[in-house]
A = this chain, B = another copy of it.
Amino acid sequence: MPSSRARSTPPSAAPARRSPCPVACFLDLLGDRWTLLVVRDLLLGRSRFKEFVASPEGIPTNILSERLRRLTEQGVVEQIESSPGSKHLAYRLTRRGQALRPVLESMRAWGLKHLRGTRAALEE
C-alpha cells in the first residue's frame, strides 16, 4: 500500500469503475464470492485471520490475505492489535464497513426465503 492517503478520501486502490452506477461501483469493490463473507465474519464478531480461515466456507488463505488488504485499502476494514500490546493483528469494520450490514441482511433474508436448506448464524 503506498503511503499517505488523505484520511477522508475514498480509497484509490479500487479497480477502475465501469460506470457511475452505485450498484456497479459496489460490485467493482465487493462483487465476488468471498469478500462479503469476510464482512459477514466481521459483523459476527470475528476479528482474527485464523477465525476467518476457520469459517465453514474454507476461504483459501491467499484469497483471504488479498481481500483483507483490499478491504483495508478501501477503508472498509482497519487493522488493530488483537489485544493491548499484542503482536497479533486483528481486523474490524470501519464505519463505512459497518454500513454494509443492511446489504448482508437483505442477502440473508433473500437466501433464507428462496434457497432451501439455508440457515442463518447472524441473529441480530
Contact = CB atoms under 8 A, between A and B. Distances in A.
Interface of A: 9-10, 18-29, 31-34, 36-37, 40, 55-58, 96, 99-100, 102-122
Contact of A20 (B31, B100, B107, B118): B118
27 contacts: A9-B116, A10-B114, A20-B56, A20-B117, A21-B120, A22-B109, A22-B111, A22-B120, A23-B36, A23-B40, A23-B122, A24-B37, A25-B118, A26-B108, A26-B115, A27-B32, A27-B33, A27-B107, A28-B33, A31-B32, A31-B36, A32-B32, A99-B113, A100-B110, A102-B109, A103-B103, A103-B106
A18 to B, nearest CB: 4
A83 to B, nearest CB: 28
A107 B103 contact: yes
The 6 closest A-B pairs by CB, nearest first: A22-B111, A22-B118, A19-B56, A18-B57, A31-B33, A26-B107
